Structures are given as structure tokens and as C-alpha cells.
Chain A
Amino acid sequence: MTPYRLSSGGLVDRSKPLSFSFDGKEMQGFEGDSLASALLANGRLLVGRSFKYHRRRGILTAGAAEPNALMTIGEGGRTEPNTRATVQELYQGLTAQSQNRWPSLDVDVGALNSLLSPFLGAGFYYKTFMWPAALWEKLYEPFIRRAAGLGRATYEADPDGYEKSWAHCDLLVVGAGATGLAAALAAGRAGARVIVADEQSQAGGGLLSETATIDGKAAHAFAAETLAELAALPNVTLLPRTTVFGWYDGNVFGAVERVQKHVGIPAAHLPVERLWRIVAKEALLATGAEERPLVFGGNDVPGVMMAGAMRTYLNRYGVAPGRQVAIFTTNDTGYALAADLEAAGIPAAVIIDSRSRPAPSGYNGRTRIISDAVVSDASGGKALSGITVRTRNGSETIKVDALAMSGGFNPVINLACHRGGKPQWSDEKATFLAPSGLKGLSLAGAAAGIDGLAACLEDGAAKGTALAESLGYGSTQPSFGAVTGEIAPAPAKPLWTIKGVRGKAFIDYQNDVHRKDLGLAVQEGYGHVELAKRYTTNGMATDQGKLSNVNAIALLAEARGVSPAEVGTTTFRPFYTPVSFGALTGTSHGHHFQPVRKSPLHNWAKKNGAVFVETGLWYRSSWFPRAGETGWRESVDREVKNARKNAGLCDVSMLGKIEITGADAAEFLNRVYSNAFLKLPVGKARYGLMLREDGHIYDDGTTSRLAEDRYFMTTTTAYAAGVMNHLEFCAQALWPDLDVRLASVTDQWAQMAIVGPKARAILERIVDADLSNEAFPFLGAAEISLFDGAVHGRLFRISFSGELAYELAVPAGYGESVADAIMEAGREDGIQPYGVEALAVLRIEKGHVTHNEINGTVVPGDLGFGRMVSSAKPDFIGKHMLAREGLNAPERPQLVGVVPLDPAKSFKTGSHILAKDAAATLENDQGYVTSSCYSPHIHSTIGLALVRRGSSRHGEEVMIWNGLRDEFTPGRLCDPVFFDPANEKLHV
């Protein structure tokens, strides 16, 4: 026989049928069902195949710990593998597929693995590594990969939305069972900000499966009533369908809310999952306890189920487990199930109790009890058919179609151990309890090892009250009236090793670890709990040993002849249950993957036809193609030639810009730059070199003195944020006594370089000031107005291109308009926009360095900047390491130019320099090309390189070696300034 739906009873709504499919077969359930309860109600016992041996498996639990009933839910981009049917709410149209079977669940070829089981035992993976390596690729790996067959992820994009949110509270209550509800009510009534997170759709936890009454009310009605009161409190937030999965530093809890995992087609404006980061002053774990399986032969045959789960299916979902039910228990919970079965009209056939004199209080049933007995084996194929019961006097075979088991309870303490605390073994409770002395987190009810509904209610209320009081809220502890009709689980006398077992007795269902595997691990020297875990794989995979860990530890302890306390546990880490990548990603994908930073001249560039390139978060114009140009090089060559012949306009708004004020600003700059800044006159710009404290160059840029105590610094685009942080460090941490004030003004100014022989003539048409060479010479800096005083900006006569050039800064909102005006003013002079590609060619032609050269390994002398290191200054960042021997070694790489001997040949950035006839080996490496481009003025590829003793080797023939492509280009080292070495164009 198979399970079936009772005609009445349970909390499902029989007036609201829902259809769904399992492996293509249409089925029906009701609103309020889980997928698991609906499958059982349809008589479906076999729901999956095991991981390694492909054994038939049925539903074992009714909650988060489920190791067997893993299914692939949904279709297309919404496909979600490894979903536990026990926590999946049923919805209209749900499609579920079983996993890890071929061709079908009922006929699975992989089950042949069972025949190979002698080779697949503990240490299989370890031993495989020791077999002949040659067989890895062809034999072992494909086999293991196929065997490791949990569900498969879809390749289609997920069409649904996810998001993240922060939340704050005085008290986070994790779990809304009896304990959690009582605690939340106590703290909520006291006025504390409370968040109650519960993983189920319906709060109540065990109350929803309980037949005892509280103050005369059904337990589920009590839950509903308490929940309603909590929902009405403005200071209480309820998070249903929310699993708190991790406890992190600062008392932050990670949680995932399944906002729309219970609907077929999610509403587009809502996320399907929401990741919460909950900052709690205090947290109370009311996470209950997990029932422990018993380790007998065939304890995985479909039809064997946890006693508490069977009770949940019966009482909450109105599903009978079968017609002949056996209960194998070590404690009183089995009797609560027996009583409920009797009440439902399907009396249990037999209770097998491992205790010699069971005395369950409150049980008055008539079921046959075999005490001092064990189930040693369960038999059956697709469904349970019988059990072997052993007593001191012998054994008996009993025909049953369902078997409930209860080996005692393990408090769910995972969260309490996420920050390094180790679980503590309790001899009294025969299980592990949470570490003591935790800050910001405490446990209550079954999670704290407390038995029974009445005691849990009281413990929850007491701890909720105490926590509220400790947080400054006065309160009185709520009381809940009498609990009647409860059969509370008395502490179990543990039963680890069951004697007389014949079949495979599973400990970890999900990893197919059985009892003999652990014995083998101990025998082969892997008895340490961490080693045994890896050797046997016990406690791995999606359930992370929720059912198996304590049994495994106790069995290891027995095998080693020590106490479980001595064996200890492996480390508990987040996540408590699997969390989807979608939830962890939140909105950070597609358009929202990362912010985009746009220049104030973005629209100007766009309408001038720019091709954009992402540099960091910025979008920069690469080049501006024109009709008829066949490739980027053609555009770039034109832009470069035009800038040197006529004029060019380039957006340099993304350079870092920092305004520096304060009485000590000059002294400050003098200390952060290696060259002198104290005497920079007002109205002048100066190129500056910033070092790291270890003497290497950090960044370069220009700084202009706008007033006695006001400077304007530019940094490279790449290091803009870093330089600002660095300056703040110097000002705040190193020299707080200096009066220096820093403001990032990168976004305030649209900045453009106007470059070329006609630059002055063009600017004179829009700038109000006198721009003649005499009035505004090279390195001039001034606050100016434009368009007859309509706009106020700043003008700097600085040049990265070697041309007569200016950088004009105007308030960002005017940027596009001013750039348009410059283009218009320069039209007859042939001005053209140019992008970063042309900018690079112009600077390489002039031998100007960027972070390609300032690569973190160079000191000023390497780049020929020796004169920019002031020897007069007593102190500046980097001064004190510069004298070190290695930084002055004669063999250091130095900046040099490089050209191919044959102008028709080219080479790539990153190529290495070899002496002319040297072999291409690492030992012969002399340096490498840091920048290269095609120069339309030199008519060949040109490069800058850092080459050993480079500055004294101009003219030497070398070999340029591209090891990646195995290309050799004969070349010559030369002066790094390729164009206008006398700087004649700069000063006109």
C-alpha cells in the first residue's frame, strides 16, 4: 500500500485543488500542501535516486533537512535543481522532475552502481587519486562526473528579479514555532523592534503538526492568533518564507526571503527572492530541533520516514502514511504519532521501543508495544514491505507499508556556531548544544535542548521578556494557559549501533554514506572527525549533514572507543540551507551590474560619433570615426595628424581633480610631491611626481596655484580615487597639525584639452582673457570667464601632446555647450574631436609616461625624472627609501624608445627586449615594451620600453620578442621622445 489523503483533517484547503506534474504525470493537491505532501497524497513513495548507488529513495522529512526528495522545479530559465520537495509550496501548474536517474525514476541504469559498491565505498575519491594517473581523463573523471549527478542548472537566463535589503531591529527571532512566537510576543508587547523570520509560508512550526491544545485552543489556532497580534504591532516585522542562513560579524544575519517561489508566474514588479542583511542588537534562535534517524539496514527504503515528519503529514496535510504503520523509537515522540494515527482511524500496527521500560506519559493507546527491541532491517524495493524486529529473545518479521523512526533530537544550533564557536556535547541530552557565552545571540526552546510544548512556550516568553528588558524595554512576561494532550519527548537514551543489521544502514542519505564506511575510515586511519568527513563525504552536499552529523560522530566515537565530546564536530559554516546565486547577486546583473560613470561631455562625444570604451566605470571616447574610414587606425591616424597640424579637442573630464585649500596647503603639497612646490607662484601650473613611501612612483599630474592658499590638482584617471584617499591619509593621519582641506572636484568640472597650432586662435574666440604667449605662457593657470562673462572657468596651459595646448575647465552642466562652441569656433581652423587612442599616440610620440610606465616598480630615476626629486627638502613621502642600493642599481630598467629596423614591421606592447643575438630565454630578458602605437608622423610602429640601462643604449640594435606569438622583430633602442624633441611647438 501507499500513502493516501484522508477525507478530512489537516490544514490544507480541500476546496482549492491545485494541479501539478511530477515527471510528466499530472497530479492534484490542495492549497496548503507542500510538494512533498502532495506527492504522498498521490501515493507517490519513490521520488528520487541516491547520489552514488542510485538507490530508490522516498520522502524522509517534512522540512529543511530533507536529503532525498530533491527535485528540479520549473521550466526554461526558471528551472531550479535540487529543490527540496518538503519545503516547496505547491502551486497551480508546478512542474517537478526527479533527478539522478536514467532513463526514468522507476528504471534507472545507474542503479547498477550498487553492484559496484565494494569499489565505491569510503575513500573512493582518495583512492582514485592513487590509481594510475593515465586513466584519470578517460575513466575516472567521466565516471565520477556522471555519478555526481544532482540536478542540472539551466543554461537559459533567469527571467526573474532578485534584490537585497538591509533591516534593523532590537531583537531578531529566528523561527516562529511555539518558542519563537512566545518570545516575539513578549518582546513585541514590550515595544522592542522585533523581526520574526520563519522559513515556512505559515508561521507556527511544530504547532501546525501538534494535536495538543493550548488554553483549550487548537495549537494551530493559537499560532494564528499570536501571529495576528504580532502582525498588528507596528514595531514587529514578520518575514515569512525567510530562512536565516548565516550569522556574521557585527551581529548581522543573512536571510533569504522566497517572495515568489510559491507562484508559477511571478509578478514582474516583485523579486522572486530577496536577500536580507539583518542588523540585530540581539538574536534569539528558536530554530527547534531536528529528529535523528536510526541506523538500521534498509533505513532508506521508500516508506521509512522520520516520526515527526509522518506526524506532520498526518496532522498538517491530512495524509496517511500507509495502512500498516510501524514506529521505531527511542523516546516518547513515537507515542504521540501512535496516538494521532489512532485518532485518525489508522492505528499503528506496532511500536518498537529500544528502551526496556517505556513509560510514555499521556499515551493511552492500544498499539502493540515491543520494548527493549530494535528494527534491524527494513525490506522492500520501490516500497517498504516489511521489517525485522530483534529483541533479546530473537527476531520477528512484520509486514508493514510504513515505518516511522525517531532516534532522539538534535537542537538546530547551526547559526550559533557560524562565528567560530564549537558545539558542546551534552551527555544528558545525548547531543550537541550551542556553545555557551555567545554575545548577541541566545537560544530558546527545543534549540536550547528543552523538551515539550509547555516548556518551550514558557522558555520563549521568558527569554523574549529578558532580552527586551536588557535592551531597555520594560515588560511583563506573557502567559499562555495550560497545554493539554501533549506527549512530550522525554530525553532519548541514544541508540547509535543497532545490532544484527544485514542490509546497508545509511547515515548520510544524500552522500550514500553507510555505517561500514565510517568503520572503514577509522580502520584506515581517517577517524578524526574532519578527516572522516572528507574520507567518507559524510555531511557534505546540499543538506550539510543536518540528519547525519550527530549519528556519524557518535558512531565514530564508538568505533574509536571515545566519547562523542572527544570526537567533536566539523565546522558549521554558512549557509544553513542552499542560497541561490540569484539572491546573492541581487540586482547586480545586466544594466545594474555596476554603476556607469558618465562624463559631462558624454552627449557631446556621442553626437560627434564617438566609439566608447569602458575605463574603470567611465565611458571614454576611443575615437571618432568618419564616413568612409575603414578601420579604427584610419580614424586615429587622422585625429593625430590633425591635432598636430590644426587642432583637436579631447574630453579629459575623467582626470581626477582635487581642490586643496588651507593655510598650510603649500607645505602639504611640498610633502606629498617629490619635487618642490613651496615656491610655485600663483597663476602657475607644475608637473608633480607623487611617490609611495617605498620610493616608487605612485602617480603623476599637474597642480596649479589659483590663489595664495588654493590649489587645483589633477591626477591620472586610474588613480583619482586612490590619490584622494592618499592625500586624506597624509592630511589626517600623518600631519593632522597642518591646516589643509581637500575636496574632490572631479565631477564639478567638464575639462577639455584643446590641442594644436590653432588652439590659441580658437580659444581666443570664446575666452575673455588675453591668451597671447606673453600674457599666458606655457604652464600658465588662471580663473577666466568665457562668452563675455557668461561662464566662469579655469584655463591651464599644459600639454600632454607636445603641441601648443590648453586644458579648459568649465562647470560640468555647461560642458556640452562649451564643447559645441569650441567646435563651432574652430570649424574653419579644422578642429576635430579626438579620443583616448589618439591621445595615446600623441603622448607616446612625445615620450610622456602613463601608468603603463609608472607600473609600481619604477623610481623617478628610471624614467629620467631624477631632477624631480628634491634634495633640498627635509621630508616628503618616499624620500627616505630612495637612497636604497637596489633603487640606484646601474642595471635597473630605464625608459627608452624603441622602433623596428624595418618600418613595415611592427611589434606589440608587452613584447620583451633581447640583446641583438641573444637566445630567447628568461635569463636573456632585458626588459619589455610598456606602450606602443603606430605613429603617422614617424610612419612606423614606435614604442616606449623599460630596458636595462636603457638610457645609455640609444642606437643599439636589439631583438623585440613576442613570446606569446613567437614573433621576433629586429629593432633599435632610441630616445623616448620621437617628435619635436626641442619642444619648439610647445612654447609658441
Chain B
Amino acid sequence: MASLVTCPHCGARPKEEFTVKGAALTRPAPDASQETWFDYVYLRDNPRGAYQEYWHHTSGCRRWLVVNRDTATHEIFETRDAARKVTA
């Protein structure tokens, strides 16, 4: 029926305005090992609990966001612009 995602630029919006891409991973350096690249492309955690994902506010500001949400409760802890670097 409904669910809201708070875009850091636009405020709370229904999930229909967004496109979800999946785990927010850091792209390896071009010279990283094949193994690192393989992990980046294919391997995903599947946690119960907090999970960081890339979401795109497709029908809004068209910014890519990192959404930190709980996979079990759907609670969203934080959203930020994907261009904003954070120290993990």
C-alpha cells in the first residue's frame, strides 16, 4: 500500500518515486585484484537488520542516495546523497 523514504533533498516520498539498485558497495580501484572485483560484482551479504542500499529518486530530484534500512522492520535509519563521502 505505502511506504515512505525520506530523500535528503526532497523530504518524505512514497517508495514508488524511487528505484532501488541494491547493496551500496564501494567500486574497487581499476587495478584491484580479480578476486576483489569478483566480490564487488557478485557477492552480497544478506543481513537481517541494517543494510545500506543505493536508491535513486527517479521521479524526484534524480539523485542517487544511500539508504540505510532495516531489512526486517523496514525502518529507515538514515538516507544521504550517494555523492557525499562518508568514512565507514
Contacts and interface: CB of A to CB of B under 8 A. Distances in A.
Direct chain A–B contact by Cβ atoms under 8 Å = yes
B50 interface: no
Residue from the set A248, A251, A732, A874 with the largest chain B CB neighbour count within 10 Å: A732
Contact of A881 (B4, B37, B56): B37
A609 interface: no
A249 B2 contact: yes
A279 interface: yes
Contacts of A116: none
Given A694-B41, A728-B64, A881-B41, A875 B30 contact: yes
Interface string A406-430: 0000000000000110000000000
A693 interface: yes
A42 to B, nearest CB: 39
B71 to A, nearest CB: 12
Interface in A659-707: 693-694
A595 interface: no
B46 interface: no
Nearest to B57: A728
A457 B62 CA distance: 48
Contacts of A875: 30
B87 interface: no
Interface string A332-347: 0000000000000000
Interface in B27-56: 27-28, 30-32, 34, 37-38, 40-42, 54, 56
Interface string B7-35: 00000101000010100100110111010
A574 B82 contact: no
Contact of B73 (A254, A279, A420): A420
Counting chain A residues whose Cβ lies within 8 A of the other chain, the interface size class is 20 to 34
A729 B20 CA distance: 11
Contacts of A246: 1
A934 B7 CA distance: 51
Contacts of A419: 73
Contact of B56 (A693, A725, A874): A725
Of the four ranges (under 10, 10 to 19, 20 to 34, 35 or more), the interface on chain B belongs to 20 to 34
A790 interface: no
Contacts of B62: 728
A658 to B, nearest CB: 12
B27 A249 contact: no
A693 B14 CA distance: 29
A277 interface: yes
Nearest to B42: A694
Given A279-B12, A732-B64, A732-B83, A883 B4 contact: no
Contact of B83 (A250, A736, A874, A883): A736
Nearest to B75: A249
A252 interface: yes
A574 B73 CA distance: 16
A277 B83 contact: no
A733 interface: yes
A268 interface: no
Nearest to B6: A250
Contact of A725 (B2, B4, B12, B58): B58
Contact of B2 (A277, A734, A736, A879): A277
A883 B37 CA distance: 11
Contact of A250 (B2, B38, B63, B85): B2
Given A249-B3, A880-B37, A881-B41, A733 B74 contact: no
Contacts of B64: 728-729, 732-733
14 contacts: A246-B1, A248-B3, A249-B2, A250-B2, A420-B73, A732-B81, A733-B24, A733-B54, A733-B82, A733-B83, A736-B82, A875-B30, A879-B30, A881-B41
A693 B41 contact: yes
A732 B63 contact: yes
Interface string A732-764: 111010000000000000000000000000000
Contacts of B28: 880
Interface in A244-300: 246, 248-252, 254, 277, 279
Given A250-B3, A279-B4, A883 B12 contact: no
A883 B34 CA distance: 9
A574 B1 contact: yes
A460 to B, nearest CB: 26
Given A728-B62, A732-B83, A736-B83, A249 B4 contact: yes
Given A733-B24, A874-B30, 5 more contacts: A693-B41, A733-B54, A733-B64, A733-B83, A736-B82
Contacts of B19: 725
Interface in A559-603: 574
Contacts of B21: 729
B1 A277 contact: yes
A875 B37 CA distance: 12
Contacts of B85: 736
B54 A250 contact: no
Among B1, B31, B74, the most chain A Cβ lie within 10 Å of the Cβ of B1
B2 A248 contact: yes
A879 B29 CA distance: 12
A764 to B, nearest CB: 40
A254 B63 contact: no
Nearest to A744: B62
A39 B69 CA distance: 52
A76 to B, nearest CB: 30
Contacts of A729: 21, 54, 56, 64, 82
